[in-house]
Structure 1
């Protein structure tokens, strides 16, 4: 991995104290310091597009009461610098740790807290002028994945395509009745920051888009389900769903159709992951995602039951 040119980055942002590495979050983001201040330093290959409306988008959320990691301008008003084959950008630091770093975060209390925050986040996102935000269509992506996997008959160890097509049979008409707005788009515990038992902020809006609102909640549930499946106890994730949705509905609403769609959205996320891993040559990862999808299909009624427990706090349209 190429070294990070901290001295040049420090000069670009006009820092008196040279930027120093505190810790690496992954191959794309790092916690760094300059003097007593902490920042998040991100880098991406020059061929990868950035989040073009990032500053205004994130500033609007911040002014609506959502603590987000804001891009830092240099003295000339620029947000990023190209050095070698990478583009570097700097963001403000949110105190706390990622929700996926400690299994003790996987409690009903934390699920409710994250639900409360997510409800507020979606309310703030709904106020944004989203005409510049790309509209995604999950159903079109799902259809592409289904066509691809139909050609893979005999290569999938857990599920047959007829069963998958039957599972998604009711989803088409349901999907187009779901409320659409600006969403986070990559809403998993690794992008949620917690501090002292409370959500202190949310990061990484690179995949923000206009999509069905309930997708963020479903993506979050699928991520938690995946982690519990790795531990061999996927059923434990089900007990968190009512608390998550109860918290959400105290700050927002879920229609009857949105609650009904969650099990299908879970399946769609997982099926698209199977497709993604197979295309990129990761058969073991694809098989694991497929095993979780099988679990979702097998436990469809249990999932719907847990989703239904939030009815008293939701509204129908």
Structure 2
């Protein structure tokens, strides 16, 4: 359950009254998600997602996130569109939290992605990267390579509580990445969290991208590497080259990777695995057992990292 903040009927009615959306019909908490509180709201005009931003979201970043969704939507990317109230505001307050309404997208996320899903994802991610050009706001990637060692320092003394040898694996890999990280690659706005549960499909047709609350400016190919990690490994940890080939093919159809991006891709994939290994390890050690949010096993990303360490060229991913 990811509803951290409960709202009363009266509070919600007053909030909805700020908008030109008709009368409130229903409101239901959404269990999925880990960062914020989300409700599905129905009014007499349509359905919307109401998000209350919790402690881990910096309010200073909200104009970037909401503005990006408006920008991408205007460029033809199907994503939630922030709803403006009668005074033109996209950001308001509810139950003492910053809050926003966005349009509801039809579709479901794929619990077991197929090859066709990966092909569609690659195309959509490239379209998103292209559409992000011209977005005026900037946001540094707080979970980019410069943030990895400070995060590791917060839990490195407890690594062995997760798995024997994990401390040395992370320490050695960080040392490699910090000296080998590619510089000067094409950059722009990236999603940075394009996991299957943030991509909706109707059948095998991609119907929209959601949850832009890790979006930032970074290497575009790094964003592709995050997606490859998230979509192209099977539950047993094996890499699925057919899915990887489809994802990269779909991306390349819309935005071809440069020679430098192709050369750097195995290192970027290692970095993407490291980013989620670090955040999952930190959360594993710091999330109470009785917390509302289920912890995600960091060892899934150890297996991914070890695979990437064996890869010498992008062609080995199926490209």
Task: Please give the range of the TM-score, normalised by the shorter of the 2 chains.
Answer: 0.7 to 0.9
Structure 1 residue 77 displacement after superposition: 1.4
Q: Which ranges in structure 1 are unaligned for 5 or more consecutive residues?
A: 312-317
Identify the residue that residue 252 of structure 1 maps to in structure 2: 255
Please tell me whether the aligned partners of residues 20 and 32 of structure 1 are also in contact (alpha carbons under 8 angstroms): yes
Q: Which residue of 1 aligns with 2:83?
A: 72
Q: Which residue of 2 aligns with 1:202?
A: 209
1:3 has 2:22 as partner: no
Q: 1:215 to 1:56 in 2, by over 3 A?
A: same
1:279-290 matches, within 5 Å, as 279-280=286-287, 288-289=297-298
1:4 to 1:111, Cα distance in 2 relative to 1, 3 A: farther
**CA 1:200–1:160 in structure 2 vs 1: closer, same or farther (change >3 Å)?**
closer
Note the C-alpha offset of 1:145. Answer: 3.5
Q: Is the 8 A contact 2:287 2:295 kept in 1?
A: no
Residue in structure 2 matched with residue 293 of structure 1 by the alignment: 301
Q: Would the aligned equivalents of 1:42 and 1:89 in 2 still touch at CA under 8 Å?
A: yes
Give matches, 1:77-156, under 5 Å: 77-97=88-108, 99-100=109-110, 102-103=111-112, 106-130=113-137, 132-136=138-142, 138-152=144-158, 154-156=160-162
| Residues in 1 aligned to 2:228 and 2:242: alpha-carbon distance in whole angstroms | 11
1:310 Cα shift? 4.8
Contact 1:193 1:202 in 2 (8 A): yes
Q: CA deviation at 1:47?
A: 8.9
User: Structure 1 residue 136: deviation in Å?
Assistant: 3.8
* 1:67 aligned counterpart, secondary structure: coil
Q: Distance in 1 between matches of 2:116 and 2:56?
A: 42
- Whether contact under 8 Å (2:242, 2:318) holds in the other structure is no
Quick check: 1:157–1:287 contact (8 Å CA) kept in 2? no
CA contact (8 A) 2:280 2:296 kept: no
Number of equivalenced pairs: 301
Deviations 1:229-256 (A, max 9, x none): 3xxx221655422211121111113322
Q: CA RMSD in A?
A: 3.2
Aligned to 1:314: none
**Conservation of the 8 A alpha-carbon contact between 1:158 and 1:294:** no
Residue of structure 2 equivalent to 1:38: 47
Match of 1:266, SS state, is helix
Provide the residue aligned with 1:164 in structure 2. Answer: 170
Change (3 A) 1:281 1:145: farther
Write out per-residue CA displacement over residues 89-113 of structure 1, whole angstroms, 9 at most, x where no aligned residue: 211122212x24x43xx11111111
Question: 2:316 aligned with 1:308, yes or no?
Answer: yes
1:123-157 Cα shifts (integer Å, max 9, x gaps): 11234234x33354622222123434543364342
Gaps of 5+ in 2: none
* Local SS of the residue matching 2:48: strand
The aligned residue for residue 315 of structure 1 is none
Helix, strand or coil for the counterpart of 2:132?
A: helix
Structure 2 CA distance, aligned partners of 1:92 and 1:153? 41
Residue by residue, what CA displacement relative to the aligned partner does 1:165-222 show, whole Å, maximum 9, x if unpaired? 3334432243242433221122211111212311121122222211222332233333
- TM-aligned CA distance change 1:19 to 1:82, over 3 Å: farther
Q: 1:238 and 1:268 mapped to 2: Cα distance?
A: 22
Q: 1:193 to 1:286 in 2, by over 3 A?
A: closer
TM-score, structure 2 normalization: 0.80
Q: Distance in 2 between matches of 1:298 and 1:253?
A: 27
